[in-house]
Amino acid sequence: MAAGEGARAVLAELVHTAAGIAPSLAPASVHSTKVRMARRLPPLLALRAFDIFARQGTVRAAADELAVSHTVVSRHIQNLEQAVGVKLVAKSGRGLSLTREGIRYASQLRRAFDLIGEASNELRNGGMEAVHICCLAGLASRCLLARLPELEEALTGREVILQPTSTRPDFSREEADAEIMYLEDGGSVADGLRSEMFARPRILAIASPEFKARYPDVRTPADLVGLPLIHEQSTGMWEAWLEEAGIADIPRLRGPRLWQAHLTIEAARLGRGVALVSDLLVTEPLANGELVEMVDSNVTIGGYYFIAPVHRWNTPVISAIRQWLRGVFPPDQTSPLQGTP
């Protein structure tokens, strides 16, 4: 269904509801386009004239806004009353006022025109007026926020909503236009989505300098197993990291689970233990000595992926976001990978 037809169908639905037509008289499938379009819609000019009258409060003010005579507005309102079979206005002094039914109808009609306006704005803006991107909190605050003006400029004035979150958005419910997520499974995504890896970071075992000084004999990944370890959602990342580092016999791991990368980084900075983090998130604290690597390693597990619906993948907005991400991260950390083509 085209956007204009959809807006017209919504308008028809609200008009009939406002006019008091019982839902039980409607066919069973209210989602059927043919059923909605089969309903008789009052003249759009009459609807528009009544909407402006309800908002302005007088026939003359409505006539001025429409650039017509007041008699034309009055005739439109009369035609609308005949079409819906309900008295919408009544004489009040020298003018007209809304009846109880008219007040209810005007409220519903305003919603319908607002929906039409929103649909039209979306079409004018290439289907998106605001671009909603879900992103991991640590990456958003430490890597993307400072470069956000570049994205806003590339999107030619569209509003950017960068939502820090650890939960996955439901694209089928339009909870987001795109997602930036860390995936360990090769960028596997649901049907209807497509993914592209834009950075494959090293995963570092980091701690505070004071913590490292307390364990001078720790030199290899195997030596970390007996230390206090800090986890995010589970021990899974540490288990995968130790396995990639060549540790065959991994004991049961313990330690606090803090769920978010920025919390594990802070816990490590406070000397609570050893945390695993992406090197992209700790560039500055490593450079200024606030954090240190506990052991030398070169472990990579998964990467950061950009995810969006397949049908929007090559639209100007989504393409601009992908290009922006390539500029934010160095080329040697960028490795394209398609999920669902």
pTM of the model: 0.59
Number of H helices, E strands in the chain: 13, 11
Residues of the chain with CATH 1.10.10.10: 3-124
Q: Considering the domain 130-198+302-333, what is its CATH architecture? A: 3-Layer(aba) Sandwich (3.40)
310: number of CA atoms within 13 Å, CB side?
A: 10
Helix (H) or strand (E) holding 62: helix 59-66
Nearest Cα neighbor of 292 from 203, 220, 206 is 206
- pLDDT value, residue 127: 52
- pLDDT value, residue 121: 57
Give the whole-angstrom CA distance, residue 152 versus residue 173: 25
Give the whole-angstrom CA distance, residue 187 versus residue 195: 6
Residue 290: which residues within 8 A CB-CB, separation 6 or more? 208, 269, 284
Cβ neighbour number for residue 298 with a 10 Å cutoff:
9
3-124 maps to CATH 3.40.50.2000: no
Give the whole-angstrom CA distance, residue 4 versus residue 115: 11
Residues of the chain with CATH 3.40.190.10: 130-198+302-333, 203-293
Tokens 């605050």 -> residue: 141
How buried is residue 28: exposed, middle or buried, by Cβ count under 10 Å (0-12/13-18/19+)?
exposed
Taking the chain (341 residues) in runs of 10, the rounded mean pLDDT of each run is 46 48 41 51 91 92 90 94 93 91 93 77 59 90 88 85 85 88 81 92 96 94 93 91 92 88 92 94 94 94 93 91 88 44 37
